Structure 1
Amino acid sequence: MPKLFWRILITASAAGGAFLLTSVLKEDDGNIWQWVASIVLGSAALIVQYLVDFGERLQAVEDSQRKHLDEMKSSLTAHHGEMSRAVDDSFSKINAATELFSRVDGSVLRSDEVTRLVRAYTEVGDQGSDIVKSFAEQELGDLAQLMEDLSNGISTCPGENNEWLVDLTMCVKKTLYATSTSVDRDFWSSEPAKRYLTEQEKAKQRGVEIRRLFLVDEPDEVTDSLRQLCERHRTFGIDARIAIQSEVEPNAQLNDFIIFDGELCHETEPDVRGRPARTTLRMTRHHVEERVSHFNRLWDASPSEN
């Protein structure tokens, strides 16, 4: 029921009760004090009700304000914690980035290329489409994986990686010792082979010593086409020979390998059909020295003219 009804009822009850009480105590019906007493008590009852209601409302407001202040305090505390963590994370990232670029600057590698990579990658992220961004992330991931593999001394990729071959030839400074088996005979008529030979010609102009052994299992595999291929390499300034493994090392099973500067070995492993299945870069000293020694034995046992 509405509060107003209850206030009227209580006020009327208090006034009526006061009137009856004064009537019982004093039987003079004409006495004005009966009416005064009932009015005063009724008014007092009404005022008390309003005071109680005001107190309840005031308490509710105080509780609401206290709850609001507690919520604000909790929110500010949480926000302060988030801001502190965000600032700490930001400074941690800044410190990590600063340390990283300091290491890059102190590295023997070119730091300007790393800066160029980071700048270009951020520009792709800001301007590129979704497919371009995804492709950039994939390529950057592959590059990061390659750097990690190189730091561990071995890197592998499926199939035949001709880009590694050409890029390494562009970087070689002293020696390039290579073997060529039947697995890569078709390679020499391809477009990557032309780029590979062109870069070898440039390497010769830089003073790089280049030797290539065309490996066959038996003497009857030394065909006119193989001799012509060998002669073609000589026109590029490459010291090329044909080695017959059955006469040098009958039980040897060799994959195609190229040794750059006596420090890195590029190897191609065939599948069951004799096609390139995997390309591996090996930089461990023991493995490279073993390959160099093997190449030198084959080279010394092969005639300079075939």
Structure 2
Amino acid sequence: MERTTRIPPFLQKAAITVILGCAAYLTTTVTGQPEIWRLTISIFIGGASLIVQFMTDFDRRLGVVESSLTSHSEDMKKLVDGGFSRINEATRLFGLVEGSALRTDAVTQLVRNATEIGVGGPDIIYGFAQAEISRLAQLMKDLHGGQAAYDGEDHDWLLTLTGSAAVSIDATSTAMDTDFWPTELGRRYLRAQREAIKRGVRVRRLFIVAHPELLQDERIKAVCRSHEDLGVEVRVAAMCTLPPAAMLDPVFDFIVFDGGVSYEVSPALGSEHTPRPVVAKTTLDVREGLVRDRVHRFNDLWEAGQ
């Protein structure tokens, strides 16, 4: 490829100045002007052309600078506006946190610790942390809407609610699941109930059996004694002895914490190979009307127990 040689701008200006000066000198020579005028006019025209070239070049460069400054100013304005927008959003969110019932330090600690996740670590840790934060955000949204659901058997909600209870825990068990309490979750749940009782929380548990003769079953009595030893108030009721009002709705397991939230489990179809009933879904419900109905329902069932 043939390379094109570009003449430097200064040489271009000098060449134009010389050409115009020579042209002026020739013109004044043809017209018979004195030597002093020929030189004066040639120098004047050459100098004027040089000045015009420099001014033209200066104006072009000034236009480029103004355009660059305008673009830079717009970029800076967008950057500043975006920064203030983010600051305003952060301030608004922090104001909402301060105005909520949640502890401000706990929320800020979550944000601070979240910013340190993934720095220098494997990508899977970042992905795991992101999934947990998204899950927590969804839980907060669902609770605001009045109901949150979890597929399968929950562990964390049950223990956290028990540890957070301040007044009462009223629970029903529709199946005498003697295999549940020796499990790790069962033992942790019992320990959490014991700690709640030490805090002054009243814990009541109603076991509902299918037949009256099961009221004298030794395994059932043993489970009841293990709860009573921890300070749990225990009663047992048979399905056939329940009052008609309590039978209007299906009988299922639920726990009411502090009269403000209902923890409910929905069983799945089990088989002869499953050692204990399988939980299909766990639900937290904070809707005032539904929780009030659960409180009344538990009191009716409790009165039918013995």
So what's the TM-score if we normalise by structure 1? 0.74
CA contact (8 A) 1:169 1:200 kept: yes
- Supply the distance in 2 between the matched residues of 1:208 and 1:119 (Cα, whole angstroms): 34
Matches within 5 A, 1:242-257: 242-248=236-242, 249-250=246-247, 252-257=249-254
1:30-65 Cα distance to aligned partner (Å, 9 max, x none): xxxxxxx9xxxxxxxxxxxxx9xxx9xx98x99887
Residue 136 in structure 1 maps to residue 129 in structure 2: yes
Normalized per residue, the structure richer in helix is 1
Residue 145 in structure 1 maps to residue 138 in structure 2: yes
Unaligned runs of 5+ in 2: 1-29, 31-44, 271-276
Q: Tell me the residue number matched to 1:270.
A: 267
Q: Tell me the residue number matched to 2:74.
A: 81
Q: Which residue identity lines up with residue 293 of structure 1 in the other structure?
A: H
- Supply the distance in 2 between the matched residues of 1:299 and 1:288 (Cα, whole angstroms): 16
Q: Which residue identity lines up with residue 258 of structure 1 in the other structure?
A: I
Q: Tell me the residue number matched to 1:111.
A: 104
Residue 214 in structure 1 maps to residue 214 in structure 2: no
CA-CA distance at 1:227 after TM superposition = 1.9
Q: Tell me the residue number matched to 2:225.
A: 231
1:147-186 Cα distance to aligned partner (Å, 9 max, x none): 1112222111111112111111111111110011228553
Unaligned runs of 5+ in 1: 1-36, 38-50
Q: Percent identity?
A: 40
**Structure 1 residue aligned with 2:255, among 258, 275, 290?**
258
- Supply the distance in 2 between the matched residues of 1:143 and 1:86 (Cα, whole angstroms): 32
Aligned residue pairs, count: 260
Q: Tell me the residue number matched to 1:293.
A: 296
- Supply the distance in 1 between the matched residues of 2:183 and 2:221 (Cα, whole angstroms): 18
CA-CA distance at 1:195 after TM superposition = 1.2
Q: Which residue identity lines up with residue 276 of structure 1 in the other structure?
A: V
Which protein shows a greater Rg? 1
CA distance change for structure 1 residues 73 and 291 in 2, over 3 Å: closer, same or farther? same
Q: Tell me the residue number matched to 1:159.
A: 152
Aligned-residue CA RMSD (Å)? 3.2
1:76-97 Cα distance to aligned partner (Å, 9 max, x none): 3333222211111110111111
Q: What SS does the aligned partner of 2:116 have? A: helix
CA contact (8 A) 1:160 1:276 kept: yes
Q: Which residue identity lines up with residue 283 of structure 2 in the other structure?
A: T
CA distance change for structure 1 residues 293 and 71 in 2, over 3 Å: closer, same or farther? same
Q: Tell me the residue number matched to 1:173.
A: 166
CA contact (8 A) 1:243 1:302 kept: yes
Q: Tell me the residue number matched to 2:282.
A: 279
So what's the TM-score if we normalise by structure 2? 0.74
Q: Tell me the residue number matched to 1:124.
A: 117
